[in-house]
């Protein structure tokens, strides 16, 4: 007789006949993008959410909101992404992850990114996962900020670091997968593991409704 397993987590209920190999949990996670004007925040998130790139992107006014779902083996993470102009602490307070973006062709944007890092570290949730992202890596000929400088600053300040290009898509998916993986690691599956075995076929349906 088929074994019936019911796994309940706070967000999702998975019911399977026979063996369940992976228990997926869904979390809604708030993520925030900060950085200097023109660093490529909006384009980076559009590359991730829609797989597209545009040379012409209007400057964001206030904040823009995007969502994207990523499925890992161990979890499904739904990202709520706030693409901000960096003005309001309300966006980064309570965030689970923050991506601070600078443009490798601009030393000023790197300097401003450092200011953002300090500000977020002062006010944000202590378990926040923060990435420093050096964007526009495709513009190597115009580079003003060495890869090592970004990497070293990130290391000294306990951040993760990646160079990306929204244009060529270099490391863009990796960035969001890395964040999703870390979130999944920090929130191990809280399955309740209610297991019902050897239930006669005709009683299964009522069991599901009675006990969950």
Ligand X SMILES: Nc1nc2c(ncn2[C@@H]2O[C@H](COP(=O)(O)OP(=O)(O)OP(=O)(O)O)[C@@H](O)[C@H]2O)c(=O)[nH]1
Q: From the CB of 89, what's the least distance to Mg ion, in Å?
A: 18
Nearer to ligand X (CB atom), residue 5 or residue 83? 83
Q: From the CB of 44, what's the least distance to ligand X, in Å?
A: 6
In the window 158-177, what residues touch ligand X (CB under 6 A)? 165-167
Site mask, ligand X, residues 43-62, x = CB under 6 A?
x----------xxxx-xx--
Cβ within 8 Å of residue 180, ≥6 positions away: 70, 72, 75, 77, 79
Q: Give residue for tokens 């399977």.
A: 16
Judged by CB under 6 A, does residue 37 bind ligand X? Answer: yes
**Of 11, 30, 38, 114, which one interacts with ligand X (CB under 6 A)?**
38
Partner that binds at residue 150, options ligand X, Mg ion, none, CB closer than 5 to 8 Å by kind: none
Nearest to 33 by CA among 110, 116, 157: 116
Q: Give residue for tokens 């000929």.
A: 141
- Cβ–Cβ under 8 Å, residues 99 and 161: no
Relative orientation angle of helices 172-186 and 41-50, to the nearest 10 degrees: 80
**Of 4, 23, 29, 42, which one interacts with Mg ion (CB under 5 A)?**
42
**Of 6, 25, 31, 42, which one interacts with ligand X (CB under 6 A)?**
42
Partner that binds at residue 149, options Mg ion, ligand X, none, CB closer than 5 to 8 Å by kind: none
In the window 86-145, what residues touch ligand X (CB under 6 A)? 135-136, 138-139
Nearest to 82 by CA among 99, 65, 59: 65
The token pair at 52 is: 């597209």
Site mask, Mg ion, residues 59-98, x = CB under 5 A?
-x--------------------------------------
- Cβ–Cβ under 8 Å, residues 132 and 171: no
**What distance in Å separates the CA atoms of residue 5 and residue 17, rounded to the nearest whole number?**
6
**What distance in Å separates the CA atoms of residue 160 and residue 129, rounded to the nearest whole number?**
8
Residue nearest to ligand X as judged by C-beta position: 40
Nearest to 70 by CA among 183, 186, 188: 183
# of chain residues touching Mg ion (CB under 5 A)? 3
Nearer to ligand X (CB atom), residue 51 or residue 188? 51
**What distance in Å separates the CA atoms of residue 117 and residue 140, rounded to the nearest whole number?**
24
Under the rule (CB under 6 A), what is the footprint of ligand X? 35, 37-43, 54-57, 59-60, 85, 135-136, 138-139, 165-167
Under the rule (CB under 5 A), what is the footprint of Mg ion? 41-42, 60
């Amino acid at each position: 007789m088929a074994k019936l397993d019911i796994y309940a987590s706070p967000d999702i209920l998975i019911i399977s006949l026979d063996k369940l190999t992976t228990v997926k949990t869904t979390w809604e996670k708030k993520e925030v993008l900060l950085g200097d004007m023109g660093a490529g925040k909006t384009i980076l998130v559009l590359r991730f959410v829609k797989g597209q790139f545009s040379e012409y992107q209007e400057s964001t006014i206030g904040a823009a909101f995007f969502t994207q779902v990523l499925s890992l083996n161990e979890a499904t993470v739904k990202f709520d992404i706030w693409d901000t102009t960096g003005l309001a602490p309300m966006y980064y307070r309570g965030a689970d992850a923050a991506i601070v973006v600078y443009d490798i062709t601009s030393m000023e944007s790197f300097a401003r990114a450092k200011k953002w890092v300090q500000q977020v570290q002062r006010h944000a949730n202590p378990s926040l996962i923060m990435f420093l992202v050096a964007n526009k890596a495709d513009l190597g000929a115009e580079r003003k900020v060495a890869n090592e400088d970004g990497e070293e600053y990130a290391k000294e300040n306990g951040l993760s670091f990646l160079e990306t290009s929204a244009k060529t898509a270099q490391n863009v998916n990796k960035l969001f997968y890395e964040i999703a993986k870390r979130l999944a690691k920090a929130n191990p599956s809280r399955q309740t593991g209610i297991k019902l075995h050897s239930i006669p076929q005709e009683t299964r349906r009522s069991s599901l409704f009675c006990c969950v």
